[in-house]
Copies of this chain bind each other. A is one copy, B any other.
Amino acid sequence: MGLAAPPAGFDAVPTPADNPTTPEKVALGRQLFFDTRLSADESRSCYSCHVCEHGLTDGLPVAQGALGKQLTRSSPSLWNIGYHTEFYWDGRSSSLEAQAKAAWTGGNMGANADEVVAMLNGIDGYASQFQDVFGEGATPDNVVQAIAAFERTLLTPSRFDDFLNGKASALNDQEQKGLQRVVQKGCIICHNGVGAGGGMFQKFGIRGRYEYSDDLGRYNVTKKEADKYFFKVPMWRNVTRTAPYFNDGSIWDLSEAVRIMGRIQIGQKLTDDDVDAIVAFLHSLEGKMPQEAMVLPVLPASTLATPKPVFK
């Protein structure tokens, strides 16, 4: 286990055999991602919680859902989400497709998938794209396949990748010192793989409880005592852009988050020198965001038959 560079150009994101990525599918998924008509009250799209100006998260402690609901955990960034192997903080979805469906039909967007699919099939501009891409009209399954295909393109290669690929000068001395620290201290045992996180569950508070949250994490999914306080390990990529931190969004200061991790995960009081170096290193994982992902789509227009937004 350890940190890994992505294949050159991030071009081999793990992709399910039954949902190959094609440009047409990505284009369709991008429209669906930005379309508020997919939510119960037309108030939310996927983008509502995953905005690029906050690193594809929302900049809030916990997520807001459709129908004015406040949810209980912090929205993750979607950059490089294709490298995650577990989804949601408690891992209750095991694929990007499953997560998209759960967010769409659960508290995030509160939609009735069958009604939304009927709506999409009533809009020529959508129906024809589904026909072209999937050989059938919109279905709950192919809607989330298209969205997941789009999400797999949200990749941000960083200076750290250049470093791992052999360009030593890509990281300055302070950043390299921070890298040494996270290796020496074992942080990368959990923040591992291409994402530097996103690939395993770990107890939040191995060496001491995190005092600000009662969230039982993965236990809520498995009901196994051993899973209490276990959460998906978040990615380090772009972590400098995604405050506030932790499952409950309780910590705004990345240095403070690093200190807390030292204390409750590895049982060490990190020095200011360690913390500064580690935060400097984390900046080297800030990625270059692809401009083409940032272009807002023009969505197929509603027709008179399209259900109106629920709005008094």
Contact = CB atoms under 8 A, between A and B. Distances in A.
Interface string A215-257: 0000000000000000000000000110110000000110000
Interface string A38-67: 000011000000011110000111001000
Main secondary structure of the interface of A (DSSP, over half): loop
* Chain copies in complex: 2
Contacts of A64: 43
A86 interface: no
B53 A311 contact: no
A295 B304 contact: no
Contacts of A43: 64
In this complex, which of A34, A54, A64 has the most chain B Cβ atoms within 10 angstroms of its Cβ?
Answer: A54
Contact of A309 (B52, B59, B297, B301): B59
B68 A53 contact: no
Contacts of A294: 295-298
A302 B34 contact: no
Contact of A295 (B244, B295, B298): B295
Contact of A299 (B34, B53, B297): B53
In this complex, which of A59, A299, A302, A312 has the most chain B Cβ atoms within 10 angstroms of its Cβ?
Answer: A59
A53 B304 contact: no
Contacts of A266: none
B34 A308 contact: no
A261 to B, nearest CB: 18
Contact of A243 (B34, B51, B295, B302): B302
Interface of A: 31, 34-36, 42-43, 51-54, 59-61, 64, 68, 70, 240-241, 243-244, 252-253, 289, 291, 294-299, 301-302, 304, 308-309, 311-312
